[in-house]
Amino acid sequence: MNTLLHRNRLIVLVVLFFLNACSTGSNQSTHALPDAEVVLEQLTRANDYWQSEYPEPGWAFWEHAAYHTGNMEAYFVTGDQDYLDYSLRWGERNEWMGAKSNQPSEWKYSYGETDEFVLFGDWQICFQTYIDLYEITGDREKIARALEVMEYQMATDASDYWWWADGLYMVMPVMTKLYQVTGDELYLEKLHEYYSYAKRIMYDEKTGLFFRDAKYVYPEHKSLNGQKDFWARGDGWVFAGLSKVLADLPEDHRHRDEYLADYQKMATTLADAQQPGGYWTRSLLDPEHAPGYETSGTAFFTYGYLWGINNGLLDRDVYLPVALNAWHYLTETSLQESGKIGYIQPIGERAIPGQVVDAESTANFGVGAFLLAASEMYRLVED
């Protein structure tokens, strides 16, 4: 009888163990910290592949500019002169400008890919890299246009410049970087004014996530299963953008607590939305809407988590497992042997049911996001 009782107790303990394991969710990583040399090899494999496949830098519009924000971080951690030269050639090709109209009276900030859309954020993200290159070289020419454009913009009465979530990554860091260069507090005041407008039209208080723009706000717009439809890459832009803002914002700035609270709330919600395979689906809270791997949003989230851990703004014990799960996906599934980064959703603005995203789906902005994440992972493990 004692033997039977002992066996039954063991069975109960085993069942309780597995129930507890299941209840902890997908964020309990079984992956160890990677070796620094391995991370460095993965970073360089991805970036060397991209630059060898695309030796001539493209135009100054957002998709190329987003890549260069990652390339600069890759340069900062590796010191590879080829990476620096690649971004220098890109800036020179584009004359250190975004959109090139010199008639402020015709400058616009609705969507546009031609030269009069100087005030549209997709044409301003290039300034992030130009500022980094100015800091390295001391050549003021590299930021002359950035100063001209942003000073003009701040002198206007408009506050609705950031009407889509992507714009928060495109331009928020430009303003904190230019504050660092100039010391002009107006950059930080206008940053908060524009950010406040963006929150009014597309922020969800309950989750802390951003709808891609006003067209996608719930309940007017719903996912396939009737849920709030938060686009992964859109919130990836925001999470990464807030990381960059917090990196440059003075510790005692009066709006810092708001940015930090928003960033930390996003971190909590995103951790719960992570899939068991370490990635995030294109519609964050409705995985069935557009199921399967997606790299660009996942890489931006990974960067945001690792940056926060590295800088003491996110609890390492809570969020490192999330980042390690995501890193395992990025390096074991997304990163190919050749160095190609796959499973990047093509240019768009939403999660599209039935859209094919596979190992051959690659894009410059997604590679840039991977480089951001890889650079922060290297900083984490290098110590």
Task: From the candidates 166, 213, 229, 286, give the one annotated as an active-site residue.
Answer: 166
Alpha-carbon torsion 365, 371, 372, 373, what sign? positive
Instruction: State the number of CA atoms in the 13 A half-sphere of 78 facing the CB.
Output: 26
What count of other Cβ atoms lies within 10 Å of the Cβ of residue 362?
19
- DSSP three-state, residue 122: helix
Tokens of 106: 């015709």
- What residue type is assigned to position 56 of the chain? E
Contacts of 100 by beta carbon, 8 Å cutoff, 6+ apart: 115, 118
**Cβ pair 14, 307 in contact under 8 A:** no
Contacts of 237 by beta carbon, 8 Å cutoff, 6+ apart: 165, 166, 168, 169, 170, 300
Instruction: State the number of CA atoms in the 13 A half-sphere of 369 facing the CB.
Output: 41
What stretches of 24-165 show up as alpha helix (H) in DSSP?
36-53, 62-78, 81-93, 126-137, 141-154
Instruction: State the number of CA atoms in the 13 A half-sphere of 281 facing the CB.
Output: 20
* Cα distance between residue 171 and residue 269, in whole Å: 24
Helix axes of 232-248 and 166-182: crossing angle, nearest 10 degrees: 10
* Cα distance between residue 259 and residue 300, in whole Å: 17
Q: Has 166 been annotated as catalytic?
A: yes
Which residues belong to the active site?
A: 166
